[in-house]
Amino acid sequence: MCDACGGIADVSDGAAGRWPARRGLSRRTLLAGTALGAGLGLFGLGLPRARAATLKNGAWCNPALGYFPDGGHFGAPRGGGSHAGQDITNSTGTAVYAAAAGTVIRREWGGGLPARTGYGIVLSHGNGRYTYYGHLSAYRVSLNQRVSAGQRIGDMGATGNVTGPHLHFETHSGGLGAVVNPVTFMAARGVDLGGGWPTLDPDARGARVTAIQYLLNQRGHGLQVDGWLGPASTDAVKRFQRLNGLVADGQAGPLTWPKLVYSLRQGANGQHVRGLQTVLNKRGAGLVVDGDFGSVTTGAVRTFQSVNRLTVDGVAGAITWRALVG
């Protein structure tokens, strides 16, 4: 749980030697009063459902794996104020990823935002949308750096006023400071902040679509691997769904993904391995996408599992896939 947030003022430096000494700010103010209104406004603009659905376009992904601690939800009372983000708890050093492509506009204590504490990063995603990552133990990007969705930007930590290590994650829509509920903001974009499978609508693009195309080609579909869930790929998804007794809507969601992925280990070779290598690269693995699950790919799987606190066995099973594509 986090302070901006409330709780015990623990300003012990979790990454001695890596950070300049700095005491925590303790001012607690109302953070989300106007933001709650902005959050409701997101769905109050009269946008038709079809428009909202296109937000599941592959641009957004999960920033960190962990669990939601009690009282760590958006809007939870915090000393007369309101919790501005969603807390995601895991251990110090757990990887923190950019939730979407953007630019690092703040890399400082509390992200330069009022009442936040701990080392933080603010990413700008354009169109008045921002994400904030608080209580970090390490930065892995520099100020003004351009980042891609899924790129590791920092490490989870316990800097600032916290009761333990976690990521304090905020989503702003309509300008910096206009916080909205991260769980619903991300869900609207096909991301389960709780760590579930993502949802990609027809017309989505990106590495996960590339992976879907490879996974379908492993089953003989012969799709052009272009990272676009266009008409041909959407039809292939629908055929796959029909064969598996699913609703054939062409949407790659929580029911489709588990049937689509393969459990892969060293020695495997094929299009499905290319899919795995593609999503590992989205998370920074830097592999050659050659379809050969050799020792280098095994090492990349083990590294990914380790920094996400999964069982480190080098085998890409359903849980590892879910974390990779989430």
Positions in the binding site for Zn ion (CB under 5 A): 2, 5, 85, 87, 168
- Given the complex with Zn ion, which of 73 and 265 has the nearer CB atom? 73
Q: What is the DSSP string of 244-261?
A: TTS---S-B-TTTHHHH-
Integer CA distances (angstroms), 152 to 85, 140, 149, 237, in order: 20, 7, 9, 30
Pick between residue 168 and residue 282 the one whose CB is nearest to Zn ion.
Answer: 168
* Residue 192 to residue 175: CA distance in whole angstroms: 23
Closer of 2 and 279 to Zn ion (Cβ): 2
Strand, helix or coil for residue 239: helix
* Strand 102-109, strand 95-97: pairing: unpaired
Chain residue whose CB lies nearest Zn ion: 2
85 vs 202, beta carbon nearer Zn ion = 85
* Alpha carbon distance 187, 190 (integer Å): 5
Compute the least distance from the CB of residue 205 to Zn ion, in Å. Answer: 32
CA dist., res. 223 & res. 210, Å (int): 10
Query: 138 Cβ partners below 8 Å, 6+ apart?
Result: 15, 18, 93, 154, 155, 157
Nearer to Zn ion, 5 or 237 (CB): 5
CB of 295 to Zn ion, least distance (A): 40
